[in-house]
Amino acid sequence: MPFDQPQLNSLGLPKAPADTRVVVAMSGGVDSSVVAAQLAEEGYDVVGVTLQLYDHGAALAKKGACCAGRDIHDARRVAETMGFPHYVLDYENTFRESVIDEFADAYLGGATPVPCIRCNERVKFRDLLETAKDLDADCMATGHYIQRKIGANGPELHKAADPVRDQSYFLFSTTGEQLDYLRFPLGHLADKAATRALAAKYGLPVADKPDSQDICFVPNGDYAAVIEKLRPGAGEPGAIVDMEGRELARHEGVIHYTIGQRRGLGIGGLSEPLYVVKLDPESRQVVVGPKSELATRLVPLREINWLGEEPLESRAEWHIGVKVRSTRPPREAILRPKPGGLAEVELLTPEEGVSPGQACVFYDLDGTRVFGGGWIWRGY
C-alpha cells in the first residue's frame, strides 16, 4: 500500500499552516495588509516586513505613495490588529543604489524608466526575498495582482483575474527560481472591491485607504524636480527642432520631455500637432515631428527574462503577444532571439510612443500566461 501523499496547504506547501512561516511584504496599503491578515486568520506563522526605502521624515507629508512614514505606521497597526510580528528594515542605501540612481541616469540619457519594475526586481524579489529565507520562512507573499499557477513543469506566471488591476507588466523580470518561493494571494480576485471587502471583514484600519498613485520617491509626479535634486545641472537648456533639424523653440532641459509628448512644447501656429519623437541628450535636442513618426515596428530588447519551458534560443521566432506600455493590451508580435542575450520584437501592428527605458513584456496569445520580457533600448 503506497504511503499517503502529504496534504498541501493553501500556499501549496506540504505542511500545516501553523508550521508554515510566511514573510509578507507589507507596504502599508490595503492589498498587502489583506494578504497578511488572511494568512494570519488561516493560521500561518506570519511575519510582516516593511521596507523603509527613503527618508520617511521628509515623506510624512506626502500623499499617494507607498513606503512613506505613515505607511510604515499603518502596516504596524495591521500587524497589531491581527497579532503577528512586524519589522521595519532600513533599505535606503539599497533602494538608492539599485533604483533611484538608475532612474536619474536613465532620464539624463533620454530614456523613460520604470523604477517600480527595478524595485520589484532588485529590492523586493532579490534582497527582501533573501531576508525572508534568512528568517527561515517557507515562502514570501505580496499583495501584487498577478497569479502563480502550477503547470506541467512547475510554477508559471499568469495575468491577474482582474485585467484592470493586473500588474504582470511590472513583474516580468521575476525569475523561475523566485517564482518557486513567491506567493500572490490576491491574483485570483475579481476586482479591488473584493479586496476592500476582505479588509473590512478583518477589521483592518486601512480598509478605506486610497491606492498609491505616484512613484514613491517622486512627489506629485514631478520627475524633473527629483532629477535636478539628484543630478544638479541636469536641466541644461537646448533646442526643440523638427525632423530636418530646424530650431522651432527652446527648452529648459531634455529631462522635462518624454517620447510621445504633445503638450507643453511651446510651439504654436502650426497646421498639424507635433509630438516628441526623439530625445538627444548629447546635443540637448528635443526632436519633434508628426504623429506618424511615432509609429514603431521593430523593438530592440536586452536584459531578457524568459519564463518558457524551452530555451529562448531554441527557436528562431516565437509568435507571442507583447505589451510595450503598462496601460496597453498585449499586441501580436514576433520575438526573435539575437546573439549576446539580446532580442528583437517585430510588432505586427506598429505602436506609437515606444520608448527606450520601458519594458516589453511577453504573453501567451491564447491564454493568461506571462513568458517574461525585456528592456527596450536604442540598439546599436
Question: Does residue 51 have a known ligand-binding role?
Answer: yes
Q: Cα dist. 19→15, 184, 192, 329, 344 in Å?
A: 6, 19, 30, 41, 46
The residue range of the domain holding 244 is 235-289
Instruction: Name which of 220, 227, 69, 52 is nearest 123 in CA terms.
Output: 52
Number of H helices, E strands in the chain: 10, 17
Which of 301, 237, 248 has its CA nearest to residue 277? Answer: 248
66 is catalytic: no
The owner of cell 502550477 is 150
Annotated catalytic residue within 66, 67, 139, 216:
216
Average pLDDT, the chain: 91
Q: Do the Cβ atoms of 65 and 59 come closer than 8 Å?
A: yes
Band (pLDDT 50/70/90 cuts) for residue 60 is: very low
Contact 122, 99 (CB under 8 A): yes
Q: Is residue 230 part of a domain?
A: no
Contact 289, 243 (CB under 8 A): yes
Q: Say whether both 268 and 166 belong to one domain.
A: no
Same domain, 140 and 244: no
**Are 72 and 37 part of one and the same domain?**
yes
Do 192 and 270 belong to one domain? no
Assess whether 198 and 146 both reside in one domain.
yes
pLDDT band at 379 (very low <50, low <70, confident <90, very high): confident
Q: Is 271 assigned to a binding site?
A: no
In this structure, what CATH number is given to the domain that contains residue 350? Answer: 2.40.30.10
Q: Decide if 32 is inside a domain.
A: yes
Q: Where are the beta strands (DSSP E) in 254-315?
A: 275-280, 285-289, 295-306
Over residues 215-247, the pLDDT tens digits come to 888 867 788 888 888 888 778 899 999 999 999
Judge if 132 and 167 occupy the same domain. Answer: yes
Residue 292 annotated as part of some ligand binding site: no
Task: Give the total number of structural domains in the chain.
Answer: 3
Q: Are residues 175 and 27 in the same domain?
A: yes
Please check whether residues 33 and 156 belong to one and the same domain.
Answer: yes
Average confidence (pLDDT) over 271-299: 92
Q: What does the pLDDT read at residue 264?
A: 85
Tell me if 168 is assigned to a ligand binding site: no
- Decide if 91 contacts 51 (C-beta within 8 A): yes
Query: Is 146 part of a structural domain of the chain?
Result: yes
CA-closest candidate to residue 287, choices 268, 261, 269, 263: 261
Q: Tell me: is residue 242 an annotated ligand-binding position.
A: no
In a domain, 214, yes or no: no
119 is catalytic: yes
Q: What is the CATH number of the domain that holds 256?
A: 2.30.30.280
Residue where a domain stops, chosen among 289, 320, 353 = 289
CA 364 to chain centre: 19
* Domain of residue 144, CATH code: 3.40.50.620
Tell whether 284 and 300 lie within a shared domain. no
Say whether both 150 and 60 belong to one domain: yes
Per-residue pLDDT at 4: 60
Residues 118 and 181 grouped into a single domain: yes
